[in-house]
Amino acid sequence: MDLTSEEKTLWQRVGKGLSHQIFDRFERFEDAVDEALSGLVPEERGALRVLLERMLASGEDARELWQMSGAGVAFDNPKGARMGLMMLLEAVKAKG
């Protein structure tokens, strides 16, 4: 999936927020996601929401999408990676 430079920068910021170290502080994926999103302003969360919706609609292997973020989050299969994107999208929606 092709990303604009703005989308790529945003996705990599989120990925950095979801680096391996964050999981040393939080046991639950949801808590780590909330922490990673806390540094985004509302406009960025809106852009991330649109980006995540596009990613989910693309049908691309979600593991590759996560890899593009640099998050270092490993998923065993595409379904688990897709679920991770869906959880991230729900967290973005909840934050508004």
Q: Yes or no: say if 36 and 25 are a contact pair by the CB < 8 Å rule.
A: no
Delimit the domains of the chain by residue range.
5-95
38: number of Cβ within 10 Å? 9
Rounded to the nearest 10 degrees, how much is the dihedral formed by the CA atoms of 21, 86, 58, 47?
-70
- Quick one: pLDDT band at residue 23, thresholds 50, 70, 90? low
| Average pLDDT of the chain, as a whole number | 90
What is the pTM for the complete model shown? 0.88
Provide the H-helix boundaries in 1-96: 5-17, 22-25, 29-37, 42-58, 62-69, 78-95
**pLDDT higher at 32 or 4:** 4
pLDDT, tens only, 35-60: 888 889 999 999 999 999 999 999 99
CA angle 89, 57, 8 (to 5 degrees): 65
